[in-house]
Amino acid sequence: MIEQIPPGLPLILGCLLAPWLPRTLKSAYLLLLPLLTLAHIWSLPADHQLALSIFDGAYTLELVRVDKLALVFATIFSIAAFLSQLYALHLDDDAQHLSGNIYAGSAIAAVFAGDLITLFVYWEATAISSVFLVWARRNQRSYRAGLRYLVIQVGSGVLLLAGTILHFADTGSIAFDHLGLVSPATALILIAFGIKAAFPLLHNWLQDAYPEATVTGTVYLSSFTTKLAIYALARGFAGTEILVPIGAAMTAFPIFYAVIENDLRRVLAYSLNNQLGYMVVGIGIGTELALNGTAAHAFAHILYKGLLFMSIGAVLFRTGTANGSDLGGLYKSMPWTTGFCMIGAAAISAFPLFSGFISKSMILTAAEEEHRTLTYLVLLFASAGVFHHSGIKIPFFAFFGHDRGHRVEEAPLNMRFAMGGAALLCVGLGVFYEPLYAMLPFPADYTPYTTTHVVTTLQLLLFSALAFTLLMRSGIYPPELHSTNLDFDWTYRRAAPALVSWATIAISWLQSTLRSLLSRVGTAAQTGLSRLATPPGAIGEPWGTGTTSLCAALLLGIVLVFYYA
């Protein structure tokens, strides 16, 4: 019986009962839902499928398709849903609990979708449910950021639907398997996936919306939307060559913005963009090792990125700010949060014995084996940059650096348990990586802890730390300032409104000019006709009999010509 229920659907529907439960029972119930979802996922038989015929059997929707790629993403989504719910347990806000669980359930259901229509339904469900995590902050900035986020996310769904319709017209199939970049239809689908994966020039919704969400909402957001897009790209576009330079660009350009950014949650949003680039490169390379590395890195990334957002969220929760310029010295009053943040920083920096090392090295090795030297060098540069802005900058400015005098309580107990669980998994996966490797889509004959990998990584990280130290000591490092840094979102947050304003002014001026011109022409015509029609005008005096008869004869002749023509 349970095999006939799409995974994720019980989480979506089950959370609707939560508002009606007493507070103490509600907490336990909300924690139980993602655990039951995980158990449901792993109870499904290998290669299980669940189909639904619609329109009298004319079309078949494949609601569930179980394979190893779907299982690894669904597993980490369930774990992330549990940790996010644990982190949010102190909240007495049903809107956030409901939207978070519907969001997570929709993402889990989407990875099992075997056809593009089912994928589209859950794709849009993630967009609509997640925007409430931005709006739940209930201020003007979050409202505007949420609107921009919703327009872009729903726009991605519209492109996905358009591509699906065209693909069906071309092939007669809506199956969600390998698509490849072979037609305008699949190009639209790739763009739809690319929007949610935050491709360059399509990425700013991430840095715009995530930092404006609630403390707990950002943790949810960091886990599902972009990784669902990575899953979709891995499923539909593995080996698509254009993804390699796109992914390489994604790893590199966010580093420069992260270095100058003051809002530490925005720094983490840029580093999230950077980490997605590694996964996109792996998908573009398309070998078994590269795709395994992509899946493993997505798994590890959800944990360490969630941990970093949790730790900075705890700082925001206690101090009321996430600006690096206003923080410092918090290790004295928030030691647990400091320790958890440093574990997350080590994991994202790919230190040996942490989860990022055992996943990122697979993608680097895949690039090296395929002799993609330039891509490999860009990824190495990006690795140094990640350590610089996420491994050092985040802990330094939040918890060390200049002491701003904040003396606050440690994070609430549920937040500490959630951070502790994520930190434990970050360390555990770095040491005991075999269970994760066993879950990957292809057999993983790979050993991360070789002398070359370890020494190269440590050299890279130590030189990056040295560069940060020298920049700080010399005063060259960009200061933390209260500011809003725009990159490509300048086009729609500044340029587009300015163009609309100028266009409105130009249209108003043109309208006024034409109205004035027509008024003057009309007045002149009226004056001229008035002069003609009044004595002594040409037609103002009474006509003689002969003139009148001639005019009547001419009119009669014209009528006869048209009548007999």
More confident residue, 169 or 59: 169
Confidence of residue 456 (pLDDT cuts 50, 70, 90): confident
How do residues 371-416 score in pLDDT, each as one tens digit?
899 999 999 888 888 887 788 888 888 888 778 777 889 999 999 9
The average pLDDT across 448-462 equals 86
Can you give the pLDDT at residue 555?
79
How do residues 294-349 score in pLDDT, each as one tens digit?
999 999 999 999 999 999 999 999 999 988 888 888 988 999 999 999 999 999 99
Q: Closest Cα partner for 341 from 331, 356, 327?
A: 331
46 burial level (CB within 10 Å; 0-12, 13-18, 19+): exposed
Q: Which residues contact 446 (CB under 8 A, 6 or more apart)?
A: 289, 292, 362, 365, 437
Q: Is the pLDDT of residue 533 over 70?
A: no
The average pLDDT across 115-126 equals 95
What are the Cα distances from residue 413, in Å, to 201, 213, 311, 314, 336?
40, 22, 13, 11, 10
Measured CA to CA, the distance from residue 35 to residue 82 in angstroms comes to: 7
Measured CA to CA, the distance from residue 552 to residue 361 in angstroms comes to: 100
How do residues 228-243 score in pLDDT, each as one tens digit?
999 999 999 999 999 9
Confidence of residue 51 (pLDDT cuts 50, 70, 90): confident
Can you give the pLDDT at residue 345?
92
More confident residue, 422 or 517: 422
What are the Cα distances from residue 466, in Å, to 53, 281, 321, 350, 461?
62, 28, 29, 17, 9
More confident residue, 73 or 485: 73
3-state secondary structure of 407: coil
Q: Is the pLDDT of residue 26 over 70?
A: yes
More confident residue, 78 or 56: 78
- List the single range of 45-59, 300-314, 401-415, 487-501 with lowest mean pLDDT: 487-501
Cβ atoms of residues 393 and 348 within 8 Å: no
Cis omega (within 30 of 0) for bond into 536 = yes
Measured CA to CA, the distance from residue 539 to residue 534 in angstroms comes to: 7
The average pLDDT across 74-95 equals 94
Measured CA to CA, the distance from residue 425 to residue 404 in angstroms comes to: 32
The rounded mean pLDDT for the chain is: 88
Measured CA to CA, the distance from residue 565 to residue 548 in angstroms comes to: 26
The average pLDDT across 365-373 equals 92
Query: 69-107 burial by CB neighbour count: b if 16+ within 10 A, else e?
Result: bbbbbbbbbbbbbbbbbbbbbbbebeebbbbbbbbbbbb
Q: Is the pLDDT of residue 547 over 80?
A: no
Strands (E), 174-291: none
Full DSSP string of 71-105: HHHHHHHHHHHHHHHHHTTT---HHHHHHHHHHHH
Percent of the chain with pLDDT over 70: 92
Distance of CA 112 to the CA centre of its chain: 20
Can you give the pLDDT at residue 458?
86
Strand partners, 53: 60
Confidence of residue 34 (pLDDT cuts 50, 70, 90): very high
Q: Is the pLDDT of residue 477 over 70?
A: no
Cβ atoms of residues 401 and 328 within 8 Å: yes
Can you give the pLDDT at residue 57?
63
Within 10 A of 203 (CB to CB), how many other CB atoms are there? 25
Q: Is the pLDDT of residue 53 over 70?
A: yes
- List the single range of 2-16, 38-52, 461-475 with lowest mean pLDDT: 461-475
Q: Is the pLDDT of residue 481 over 60?
A: no
